[in-house]
């Protein structure tokens, strides 16, 4: 699985270490040292993955994610941060990052995250989730081949993490998924992601598909258990095409 990866890291030793590990796994790697260069490189080459340090000169990592998602770019973003408070981490996810690692981290664990993120998002020639299926629940349509979500015919911009959550729920309407089950859908390794990450993705999805996000009618909380997706108008049904 060869991918085009951009590493945005201003610590030269850390960047070189990450480069060596990525290249040993067969990936093509470009290293940049600040946020503005990261934005320019992403716009030029449309990479498969961005490894993004938070604390960088010129433009910091959080602003990079904010700009990229504002441009509707869907590339996976894995943030590398020395900040370990929950608020900082959730802010990165809320802006559209797909995963994060706090420094210091194990390079081997980082490579495991990279493999999982590429596999789960269908990048670098890997099959997309639910390959070949279009899932429908009421006015919601999830096209896994094209990595597209529409609601009542209107495109819905989703981060890769949000897409994984909505695709899993749409595949089995009315089934209640626990947070640990959705963590597995997100990254495949439950220990890597907190349940708050799932809650953040659900909250963001509600803002995008619910007319009244604070009183959701489709993406429902089952208290003490988890979440389910339902068609409030006609019940639920599964469809493939």
What pTM value is reported for the model? Answer: 0.56
Q: Are strands 49-53 and 4-8 parallel, antiparallel or unpaired?
A: parallel
Question: What are the start and end residues of each CATH 1.10.10.10 domain in the chain?
Answer: 134-229
The phi and psi torsions of 163 (rounded to 5 degrees) equal -60, -40
pLDDT, residue 221, reads 95
Q: Please tell me the predicted confidence (pLDDT) of residue 84.
A: 60
How big is the chain, counted in residues?
241
pLDDT of residue 103: 82
Q: Tell me how far CA of residue 216 lies from CA of 56, 208, 220, 235, 239, in angstroms.
A: 38, 11, 6, 15, 23
| Ordered per-residue pLDDT tens for the chain, 241 residues | 578 999 999 999 889 989 888 988 888 999 999 999 999 999 998 899 999 998 888 898 899 999 998 888 888 999 888 766 656 667 778 888 888 888 887 887 888 888 888 877 666 544 444 444 688 898 999 987 678 899 988 999 988 888 889 988 988 888 999 988 888 777 644 445 678 888 999 999 999 999 999 999 999 999 989 999 998 876 444 443 3
| CATH 3.40.50.2300 segments of the chain | 4-121
**CATH number listed for the domain at residues 134-229:** 1.10.10.10
For residue 140, which of 214, 206, 227 has the smallest C-alpha distance? Answer: 206
135 — phi, psi (to 5°)? -105, 135
Reply yes or no on domain 4-121 having CATH 3.40.50.2300. Answer: yes
Q: What pLDDT, on a 0 to 100 scale, did the predictor assign at position 86? A: 59
Q: Do residues 80 and 51 touch, judged by C-beta distance below 8 A? A: yes
For the chain, the DSSP string reads: ---EEEEE-S-HHHHHHHHHHHHHTT-EEEEESSHHHHHHHHHHH--SEEEEESS-SSS-HHHHHHHHHHTT----EEEEES---HHHHHHHHHHT--EEEESS--HHHHHHHHHHHHHHHT-TTPPPTTTT-EEEETTEEEETTTTEEEETTEEE---HHHHHHHHHHHHSTTPPEEHHHHHHHHHS-GGGS-HHHHHHHHHHHHHHH-SSTTS-SSEEEETTTEEEE--TTT-------
Question: Count of CB atoms within 10 A of residue 40's CB?
Answer: 12
């Amino acid at each position: 699985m060869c991918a085009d990866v951009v590493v945005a890291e201003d610590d030269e030793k850390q960047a070189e270490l990450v480069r060596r590990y990525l290249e040993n796994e067969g990936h093509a790697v470009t290293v940049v040292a600040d946020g503005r260069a990261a934005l320019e490189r992403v716009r030029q080459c449309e990479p498969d993955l961005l490894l993004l340090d938070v604390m960088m000169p010129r433009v910091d990592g959080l602003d990079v994610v904010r700009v990229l998602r504002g441009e509707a770019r869907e590339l996976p973003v894995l943030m590398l941060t020395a900040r370990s408070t929950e608020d900082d981490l959730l802010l990165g996810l809320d802006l559209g990052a797909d995963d994060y690692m706090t420094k210091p981290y194990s390079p081997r664990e980082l490579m495991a995250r990279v493999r999982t993120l590429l596999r789960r998002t269908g990048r670098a020639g890997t099959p997309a989730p639910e390959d070949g299926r279009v899932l429908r629940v009421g006015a919601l349509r999830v096209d896994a081949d094209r990595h597209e979500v529409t609601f009542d015919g209107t495109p819905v911009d989703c981060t890769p993490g949000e897409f994984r959550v909505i695709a899993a729920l749409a595949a089995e309407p009315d089934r209640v998924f626990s947070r640990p089950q959705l963590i597995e859908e997100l990254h495949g390794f439950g220990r890597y992601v907190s349940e708050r990450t799932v809650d953040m993705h659900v909250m963001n999805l509600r803002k995008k598909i619910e007319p009244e996000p604070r009183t959701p009618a489709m993406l429902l909380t089952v208290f003490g258990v988890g979440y389910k997706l339902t068609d409030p108008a006609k019940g639920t049904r599964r469809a493939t095409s």
